[in-house]
Amino acid sequence: MSLSFTSSASGAIFSEQLQAAIGPIDYTLLNDYMFHIVLQNNESVLRGLISSLLHLPPDEIQSIQIMNPVLPGESISSKEFILDIQIFLNNNTYLNLELQVENEGELARPFFKLSLSKL
């Protein structure tokens, strides 16, 4: 299973139940699951992040395919799936995008780990 975005896509569609949800969210983007779900369901955020990390103009990103999508509703604390986002970019580059969090006392310092391989 994979999830694809192309330059003409308008992004993923959320369920009606999710669209109607209100209230605080108990998890931040520093949570691996939340990071994965937000990026796989919001093409513009994923495109912007990849563009920024690769120093690539957004219009040069023709297609994004997430090779390991997470199913919404799975347990947010589950360890049974890979939380790195595996991406096939422009039909010729594999990316492995991982969010790491380094704890420094009371501060959590997030950083991205990115590995590339071209076909």
pLDDT by residue (tens digit) across 64-108?
888 888 777 666 665 554 557 888 888 888 888 887 777 777 777
Tell me: the pLDDT tens digits for 8-26?
Answer: 343 344 567 667 778 887 8
Q: Is residue 19 part of a domain?
A: no
Q: How many domains does the chain have?
A: 1
Domain limits for position 43:
27-118
Q: Could you give phi then psi for residue 33, rounded to 5 degrees?
A: -65, -45
Distance CA 49, CA 47 (A): 6
Residue 33 included in any domain: yes
Q: Is residue 22 part of a domain?
A: no
> Is residue 56 domain-resident?
yes
pTM reported for the whole predicted model: 0.65
Whether 51 is covered by a domain: the verdict is yes
Residue 5 domain-assigned?
Answer: no
Q: How far is it, in rounded angstroms, from Cα 117 to Cα 51?
A: 16
Does residue 21 fall inside a structural domain? no
Residue showing tokens 């605080």: 24
- Residue 79 lies inside a defined structural domain of this protein: yes
